Amino acid sequence: MSFLGHLEQLRQHLIRSVAGALIAAALVFYFKEFFFDSILLKPTKVDFLTYRLFCNISKLWGGEVFCLDSMPFKLVNLKMAGQFGMHIWVALIGGIILSFPYIILQLWLFVSPGLRPEEKKYSGLMISSSSILFFLGVFFGYFIIVPLTVQFLGTYQVSVDVQNQIDLSSYISTITSVLLACGLMFQLPVLVYVGTKLGLLTPQWMRKYRKHAFVVVLVIAAIITPPDVASQILVTIPVMLLYEISILISARIVKSEQSGQSRVI
């Protein structure tokens, strides 16, 4: 296929991906009450699952440090079209999240013609693994990072004379950025698999730069979490575990390819 032919194929898969995301976005837009009241705004309630879990854990330690009676802040809208704009923004982000498996499928269909038959047989595993890891990252962000962010930043005060009234757009932007960042960070094993297959990564290289990766993860964790050590550790631990798993995946791929070459020789 010519270069222009590849561009045409890419355009078709991009159009399908966008169409899938827009259909999912329309569903999110239509079910406004569910996605806002039951999901996005739920971490602002003291009966949220994570808060109750943290409270029970702190009671086992002989205290009630993480137990909340109320959230000392109020969400407000400061713009005429602010709520409508946030409705559209949430629908678009929700559409991307919900349609992620379909987007990955379209990406795989674009690159699959250039793959060998033995590589194509793992297409289902790759698509399902990427989707599962993405949603695991989103769930991790929603149930761990988002509550910590809301609890810390929402209750933080430099003085009792300053009350927190958080703009809706600021709250929604924080939540959606955390969810997307966590979902993408959990794609690390898939990226390492692809990178190793392309010869861009090796397990030796990943072991050599393990400390550098740790610093990078800490920096990213500092960006998407509240400015406290506990939240950064909660993000860093699972990502570094994924990094170690990625090293094992890379090593297995390299070993498999080397054994295959030796059989050919």
Each residue's pLDDT tens digit, 65-92: 667 777 878 899 988 999 999 999 999 9
pLDDT of residue 86: 94
pLDDT of residue 56: 83
- Using pLDDT thresholds of 50, 70 and 90, give the confidence band for residue 263: low
User: CA angle 110-113-115, nearest 5°?
Assistant: 110
- Using pLDDT thresholds of 50, 70 and 90, give the confidence band for residue 15: very high
At position 15, the amino acid (one-letter code) is I
Specify whether the CB–CB gap between 76 and 167 falls below 8 A. Answer: yes
Q: What is the mean pLDDT of residues 23-41?
A: 95
Each residue's pLDDT tens digit, 105-119: 998 888 777 666 766
pLDDT of residue 254: 86
CA distances 244 to 65, 210, 240, Å, are: 33, 9, 6
Each residue's pLDDT tens digit, 152-165: 888 777 888 888 88
- Contacts of residue 31, Cβ cutoff 8 Å, sequence gap at least 6: none
pLDDT of residue 217: 87
Res 222 pLDDT > 70: yes
Q: What is the mean pLDDT of residues 38-64?
A: 84
Residue 113 is classified by DSSP as G
What is the rounded distance in angstroms from the CA atom of residue 59 to the CA atom of residue 167?
A: 33
pLDDT of residue 69: 78
Each residue's pLDDT tens digit, 168-205: 998 999 899 889 989 998 999 988 988 888 788 888 99
Q: Which residue has the higher pLDDT, 36 or 221?
A: 36
Average pLDDT of the residues of the chain: 85
> E strands within the chain?
73-76, 164-167
Each residue's pLDDT tens digit, 163-177: 888 899 989 998 998
* Percent of all residues in the chain with a pLDDT value above 90, rounded to a whole number: 37
Phi, psi of 106, deg, nearest 5: -65, -40
Which pTM was predicted? 0.86
- Using pLDDT thresholds of 50, 70 and 90, give the confidence band for residue 264: very low
Specify whether the CB–CB gap between 171 and 86 falls below 8 A. Answer: no
- Using pLDDT thresholds of 50, 70 and 90, give the confidence band for residue 102: very high
What is the rounded distance in angstroms from the CA atom of residue 25 to the CA atom of residue 2?
A: 34
